[in-house]
Amino acid sequence: MTATTVATSNHPKQNGALIRAFGYLRPHWKMTAGAYGMMLLIDAINMISPLIISWIIDHTIVTQDVKMLSLAVGGLLGLVVIKGVFTYFQGRWTEIASQNVAYDLRSELQRKITLLSFSFHDQAEAGDLLSRTIQDVERIRFLTGRATFRVVEAAVLMLVTAAVMIALNWRLGLLAIASLPFLVYQSIRFGKRFRPLSSQIQKQLSVLTTRLEQNLRGVQVVKTFAQEDAEISRFEAENQKWFSLSALATRIQSQNMPLLNLVANIGSVVILWFGGSMVIRGQMTLGEMVAFTTYMGQLLVPVRQLGMVLPAINMAGASAERIFQILDAIPEVHDNPTSRDVTFTAGRVRFDQVSFGYGRKAEILKGITFEAEPDQVVALLGLTGSGKSTIVNLIPRFYDPTAGCICIDGVDLREIKINSLRSQIGMVLQETTLFTGTVFDNIRFGKPSATREEVESAARAAQAHDFIQEMVHGYDTLVGEKGVTLSGGQKQRIAIARALLMDPRILILDDATSSVDSETEHLIQLAL
């Protein structure tokens, strides 16, 4: 499964992914339970308040009892303050729980992406992975927090309010809830219509993020070939696709909400007419009528909430599915149950009838057999694309051969734990990668416990110490993202120092001095 695979119409998968997403609330159940407990208390106050208002109208305003009116209003004000306190804790606890879900999910996702094999990253788009890690996780955060809370609150409010209205006046109550089935049906129907569109929006957002990431990463190439206008046009084309999908979603949503509001408002007018007639005929007090219209408002609010929240839930369903596609991916290269830690004593590397091809492509290596002895320098020569880099990528088990066996000191690589294997191999790749941070941090990347003296010693061996010392802050100089403040040769020498610092049993240099002048290359070879 590649990182760009998206199922846009598999609703059962989305539902299953949503259920799994809610499982991340389990470690934070106390906070979640507290938030929902506050919700029930708030709903209880919402149910009591109209009855108090009804009593105030019928027993203080109508009777002109100012003293009792003051006491009753004071009590009502106290309830308002208490409700405010409950609302504060409910919102705070809901947000904390959902933020924890986002933290856990994003950490797990980043860990999985890091641990997945090179075969996965060969096909994955960095922008797509960024979109899943940031935007999709954010939608899950909203789902497990406010969105679900509003759905549960809407269900509780509708049921309890309907029951109270029927108890207060069963004829008027039944009339009030007559429109509920249609309103709920319309909200669910809208959600089903919106669901496939939400998947398309998420997919296109990933495409847009990928395009932006590629433009930023390749800005030097774009400017070198004067392709700014072409790249801007490509980005605008993808942006237009995303805009069109989002506009369609907005149009569907805008068609749904006015219909819900229309039916709800008609219901309110009908209740006002029937209720007013009953008050005039003396079948209902004015206070009861006011309470009833208040309950009617509370009954319709949840329906409107559903209309607004369901699109977000559908978006979250698509996001959850995309996230779990990554979390469920199985690394092609992994430790076996019998894998063990091995310390290389000699570092003898042997390829025995090794064959390999990337994915479904034709085999690059066919029946390769050779042996590299301890303390021996082995050079791999061949035409471009002949498999030199492939051979060195097989030694640290970035990939597993499709046939044959690779051994170090007589032990099959598949019987060695991956971390144990790679910790004893120093490697400098064709494409030098440096991280945002200081020169010192980049050199000791593979050995965080290294001392200043060890770092400087490795830098001297890599012929990097002198130019590092000439920098404004020496080893504490910030190199910028991907080392953009350094020349190609300087980056390669820092990468070589990083590999040498590990004092590896096996050192692999994959065209590691291509950007270094011949004199410096000779000095590096002498140091090695």
Which pLDDT tens digit goes with each residue over 31-79?
999 999 999 999 999 999 888 888 888 888 777 878 888 888 888 899 9
What pLDDT score does 83 carry?
92
CA 175 to chain centre: 46
Q: In the prediction, which pLDDT does 475 show?
A: 92
Containing 347, the helix (H) or strand (E) segment is: none
Backbone angles phi, psi at 372, to 5 degrees: -110, 115
Residue % of the chain over a pLDDT of 90: 29
Its CATH class, for the domain covering 11-327, is mainly alpha
Confidence of residue 12 (pLDDT cuts 50, 70, 90): low
**pLDDT, mean of residues 8-31:** 79
Looking at this protein, which amino acid is placed at residue 195?
A: R
Across 79-83, average pLDDT: 93
Q: Taking residues 381-394, what's their average pLDDT?
A: 87
What percentage of the chain reaches a pLDDT higher than 70? Answer: 95
Average pLDDT over residues 425-442: 86
Is 349-527 CATH 3.30.70.1060?
no
Tell me which of 360 and 169 has the higher pLDDT. 169
Q: What is the pLDDT of residue 4?
A: 34
Considering only 134-138, 394-398, 519-523, which range has the smallest mean pLDDT?
Answer: 519-523
Mean pLDDT of 83-96: 94
d(CA 240, CA 220): 25
Kindly report the length of the chain: 528
DSSP alpha helices (H): ranges in 228-285? 228-280
**pLDDT at residue 310 tops 60:** yes
Tokens at 333, concatenated: 């290269």
Residue pair 425/508 in contact by the 8 Å Cβ criterion: yes
Residue 368 backbone dihedrals phi, psi, to 5 degrees? -75, 130
Q: 399 to each of 74, 142, 396, 468, how far by Cα in Å?
A: 74, 38, 8, 35
Tokens of 155: 């269900």
Span 10-35, average pLDDT:
84
3 state DSSP class of 210: helix
Between 93 and 264, the higher pLDDT residue:
93
User: Domain spans of the chain?
Assistant: 11-327, 349-527
Q: Is the pLDDT of residue 7 over 60?
A: no
Highest average pLDDT, of 278-292, 386-400, 503-517, comes from 386-400
Lowest mean pLDDT among 97-101, 162-166, 310-314: 310-314
Helices (H), 62-125: 66-115, 118-123
Confidence of residue 481 (pLDDT cuts 50, 70, 90): low
pLDDT band at 219 (very low <50, low <70, confident <90, very high): confident
CA distance 146 to 478: 41
**Single-letter amino acid, residue 310:** L
pLDDT number for residue 6: 33
Residue 515: per-residue pLDDT? 67
- Contact call for residues 397 and 345 (beta carbons, < 8 A): no
Report for 118-127, 322-331, 488-497: range of highest mean pLDDT: 322-331
Mean pLDDT value across residues 319-330: 91
Residue 268: what pLDDT?
80
- So what's the pLDDT on residue 262? 81
Residue 28 pLDDT > 90:
yes
pLDDT of residue 5: 35
Mean pLDDT, range 400-410, rounded to an integer: 93
Asked if the model's pLDDT at residue 11 lies above 60, the reply is no
Nearest residue to 302 via CA among 158, 457, 171:
158
Decide if pLDDT at 389 tops 60: yes
pLDDT of residue 2: 36
